[in-house]
Amino acid sequence: MRIREATKEDKLRWDTFVETEGGSLNHYYDWKYFFEALNVQFIPLIIENDASQLVGILPIIKEKRLLYSKLNSDIHPGGLFLKKDLSEKERDEAISKVLECVDTKYSKRCSRFVLSENLNSKTVITEEPTAAFSNSGYNYKYDPITKLPSTFFLMLEQPFEEKIWWNLWSHKLRNKANKAERLGTTIIDDQEFTYIDDFIKMFSANYERHGTPPLTKKQVMIVLNMFKDRAKLFIALQGNQPIMGLLVIYHLSECVLWELGSYTKDTNHANLLMYKKVIEDACNLGYKYVNFGWSGTPGLAWFKQQFRCTRSPFRTYEKKYSLTRLILEYITLALERTWYDKAYLWRQRNKLWQIIPRR
C-alpha cells in the first residue's frame, strides 16, 4: 500500500470511487474548495495498492490556530472510506498505513486527530471498534450505554401514504403534523431558491440557539454551487411568511437532510410537517433512503427515532498528540461557545474537570 495526496488530476478518479463504492455526500473532492475558501487546509489522501489501484480515500482538514492545530476527518469531511471488497487483511493494512502517514507527515503542532470510519452502510453495523485503529493508538469514542453517536436513516417504500404515513409512523406523530397544517402552515418546494436569504437567517438562528457559530452565506452558496443539480430548498410558510427552511441534497439512492433552520424553537410542529413533505417527495421521486445524519445527544436521537429510523453506530476515533495543545484547544472552544451562548460556561461549571483530558 502507498499513501499520497490527491491532486486536481485525481478529482475524476476520486469522485468516481465515491460513487461506485457508495461513499457519502461529504466525500466528494470539491469539498476542498469549500474549506479552502474558509482558509482551512484540506488534505485529500489517496490509498493505492501495489498495482496502483485506488482502494481508499481519507479527506482531512487541518484547522490551524496560533498555538495549536487540529486534524479532523469526522462528520465533515466524511472519514476514512475503503473499497468494499477488500479482505480483512487488506483493510487492516490500509488503515495502519494511512494512520502512520498522518502521524508522520501531518501531526506536527497538532492537539489531536479525530476521524470516523465511514462504512456508509444502510444496515446496522457492529458496535465493536476496528482493531487496526486501536493498534495505532486511537481511542474509540462510541458509548455502548447511550448508543451515541449514531447515524439515522429511513428506508422508503411506496406508496408513501400506505407504507410510511399510516403503517410506519405513530398516531401521535401524524396528529402533530396535521395540527401544523390546520394552523395554516404550508410547505413549498422553492425551486428558484427565492427564500435562500431567509433560509440562511433561519438556520443561523438555530445555530445560535445551540451556542455554535453559524455557517455564512458564502459557505452555503459554495455548497449550492457544488450540488446545484442535486439540491432542493423546502420552506414552511405561515401567513405567507417563512418560519422554517430545510435544504436537502440528493446523493446516489438517498435524500440527505442537510440543514434545517427556524427563527424560533417552538414552531407548533411545523418541523414535523416539513419532514413529512420532504420524505414524501423523496419517496415519490424513487429514492430508497432518507439520511437524517448523525446525532450525539439523546434529545436529537429521540427526535429522529420518532420517524422509525434505523439506527447504526457512528464509529469515531481520536488520537491525542499534546496535552498542552489539547488544553489550549478546549479553552478556545469554550470561549467561542460563550461568545454565542453567554451562559455556556456557567452551565458547564460542574464539568470543568473534563477540560483536562485523560490519557
For 21-30, write each residue's pLDDT tens digit: 999 999 999 9
pLDDT of residue 352: 47
256-310 pLDDT, tens digit per residue, is: 999 999 999 888 999 999 999 999 999 999 999 999 999 999 999 999 999 999 9
**Residue 163 and residue 266 share a domain:** yes
Question: What does DSSP say about strands 254-262 and 110-116: parallel, antiparallel, or unpaired?
Answer: unpaired
Q: What is the mean pLDDT of residues 87-98?
A: 95
At a CB cut-off of 8 Å and minimum separation 6, what does 314 contact?
116, 142, 149, 150, 151, 294
Containing structural domain, residue 208: 157-287
The strand pairing partners of 70, in sequence order, are 63
Based on the structure, what is the number of domains in the chain?
2
Please write down the long-range contacts of 302-309, taking CB distance under 8 Å and 24 or more positions apart: 304/152, 305/152, 306/169, 306/170, 306/173, 306/272, 307/154, 307/169, 307/173, 307/275, 307/279, 308/154, 308/168, 308/169, 309/152, 309/153, 309/154
Return d(Cα 133, Cα 302) in angstroms, integer: 30
C-alpha cell at 107: 501531526
Same domain, 120 and 194: no
pLDDT tens, 322-338?
988 888 887 777 666 66
Phi then psi for residue 112, to 5 deg, are -170, 170
| Closest alpha carbon to 200 in 263, 249, 250 | 263
Tell me: do 278 and 172 sit in the same domain: yes
Q: Per-residue pLDDT tens for 161-197?
A: 999 999 999 999 999 999 999 999 999 999 999 999 9
The answer to whether residue 274 sits within a structural domain is yes
Instruction: Please check whether residues 41 and 103 belong to one and the same domain.
Output: yes
Q: Report yes or no on 218 lying in a domain.
A: yes
Q: What CATH number is associated with residue 189? A: 3.40.630.30
d(CA 310, CA 14): 29
| Residue count (the chain) | 359
Q: Are 134 and 216 in the same domain?
A: no
For residues 174 and 132, membership in a common domain is answered with: no
Same domain, 23 and 116: yes
Whether residue 70 is found in the same domain as residue 116:
yes
**Within this chain, do residues 181 and 273 fall inside the same structural domain, yes or no?**
yes
Are 258 and 184 within one domain? yes
CA-based diameter of the chain, in Å?
63
Instruction: Tell me the three state secondary structure of residue 112.
Output: strand
Q: Is residue 72 part of a domain?
A: yes
Tally Cβ neighbours within 10 Å of residue 305: 15
- The answer to whether residues 40 and 124 belong to one domain is yes
Do residues 130 and 259 share a domain? no
Residue 185 lies in a domain: yes
pTM above threshold 0.75: yes
CA 241 to CA 236: how far, in whole Å?
8
Would 294 be classed as within a structural domain?
no
